[in-house]
Amino acid sequence: MANSKYEYVKAFERENYLLPETYIVIRVDGKGFHKFSQHYNFAKPNDLQALQVMNAAALEIMKRYSDVQLAYGDSDEYSFLLRRKCDLYERREMKLCTLFASLMATFYTLFWNKAHPERPIELEQVPTFDARAVSYPSFEIVRDYFSWRQVDCHINNLYNTTFWGLVKKGMTPQEAEQRLSGTVSSDKNEILFKDCGVNYNNEPEIYKKGTILVREFDEYKSEATPVTAVSSRQRQKQDKLRRKARIEKVHVDIINNNPWWDARPWLRE
Ligand code: DGT
Ligand code: MG
Ligand code: MG
Ligand code: MG
Ligand code: MG
């Protein structure tokens, strides 16, 4: 195609290439889901169907992008771990973020409508997501990242479960907020047990731990060769293996669980 005199405008474009040989985490988060959850009457504090819509959307992204090895989600957010050697869109940050955010919104809408034919998504309240990408230089930091998100899930869920437990027992939201102000985890566990008759340990794992989607390999061969030494045929073969790998959904502790991580060495690669 002949160059037009307008082509020079391309020189203004800027692109951030995420550092090579680092793990990429892309986190999407629902925009204004406080309002969104009210509009669609989410159950409080956790709406199982809504969480399942998030999980289904994230799974669909993972199926499409074999570079995603692991995903963790709770509430209105999902974090996707892309392998260190991933070269998706040449690691262009804008491409990756806009793509993940738009896929999440589209899949969310599709799966929502499938799950709620009587309450489809309405034009005045559509699900939208922002996305950010961060590259992490070591696997230890990647693990700390996912611990951070799971701790966040736990803290929010314990608070919300206790808060709504108190409201269910007759407190106004203001009274419940006051009752919980200044309390630590053990206090909340005790309030839940004594005032609400709820043993937090017996709450569903999906609420307490969030959801982990992980690619699983039955026979795993290390790829730990320098990227330059791997032929493109080998790369294609490895990619095919990743595509074929099944994706499991679990709700387990990933913070103090070295065996879980150690059993999945491909997450490190
Ligand atoms: P943002 O992310 O800054 O645009 O604003 P929000 O409103 O999305 O805030 P965020 O992401 O910090 O918090 C998620 C909100 O979504 C929070 O207000 C609670 C709501 N939410 C998420 N999952 C559920 C659920 O299962 N049930 C209910 N009732 N609310 C939920
Ligand atoms: Mg937020
Ligand atoms: Mg949000
Ligand atoms: Mg959020
Ligand atoms: Mg185009």
**Is CATH 3.30.70.3000 correct for 19-151+205-268?**
yes
Note if the bond before 117 is cis, omega within 30 degrees: no
Ligand 4 centroid from CA 222, angstroms: 35
The H or E element containing residue 69 is strand 68-74
C-alpha–C-alpha distance, residues 79 and 61, integer Å: 11
Q: pLDDT, tens digit, for every residue of 246-257?
A: 999 999 999 999
Which of 37, 129, 159 best tests ligand 1's pocket when mutated (most atoms within 8 Å of CB)?
37
Which atom of ligand 1 sits closest to the CA of residue 30?
A: 8
**Contact 67 CB / ligand 1 (< 6 Å):** no
Q: What proportion of the chain, given as a percentage, has pLDDT over 90?
A: 91
**Contact 120 CB / ligand 1 (< 6 Å):** no
Average pLDDT score over the chain? 95
Q: pLDDT at position 218, please?
A: 87
Q: pLDDT, tens digit, for every residue of 114-173?
A: 999 999 999 999 999 999 999 999 999 999 999 999 999 999 999 999 999 999 999 999
Q: pLDDT, tens digit, for every residue of 24-56?
A: 999 999 999 999 999 999 999 999 999 999 999
- 17 has a pLDDT exceeding 70: yes
Ligand 3 centroid from CA 105, angstroms: 12
**Contact 269 CB / ligand 1 (< 6 Å):** no
- 1 has a pLDDT exceeding 80: no
What φ, ψ does residue 24 adopt, rounded to 5°? -110, 130
Ligand 1 centroid from CA 29, angstroms: 9
Strand order of the β-sheet with 129-136 is: 129-136, 23-30, 77-82, 68-74, 211-216, 246-250
Let me know how long the chain is: 269
Q: Whose alpha carbon is nearest atom 2 of ligand 1?
A: 31
- 223 has a pLDDT exceeding 80: no
ipTM entry: 0.97
Note the Cα 30 to chain centre separation in Å: 11
Q: pLDDT at position 228, please?
A: 60
**Contact 29 CB / ligand 1 (< 6 Å):** yes
Q: Whose alpha carbon is nearest atom 20 of ligand 1?
A: 34
Which atom of ligand 1 sits closest to the CA of residue 46?
A: 26
**Contact 161 CB / ligand 1 (< 6 Å):** no
**Contacting residues for 181 by C-beta, under 8 A, at least 6 apart:** none
**Contact 223 CB / ligand 1 (< 6 Å):** no
The 3-state secondary structure of 77-140 reads EEEEEECCCCCHHHHEHHHHHHHHHHHHHHHHHHHHHHHCCCCCCECCECCCEEEEEEEECCHH
Which atom of ligand 1 sits closest to the CA of residue 47?
A: 26
**Which of 148, 161, 228 lies closest to 195, judged by CA?**
161
Q: Which residue has the tokens 């061969």?
A: 221
Q: pLDDT, tens digit, for every residue of 91-119?
A: 999 999 999 999 999 999 999 999 999 99
C-alpha–C-alpha distance, residues 185 and 183, integer Å: 7
Q: pLDDT at position 232, please?
A: 85
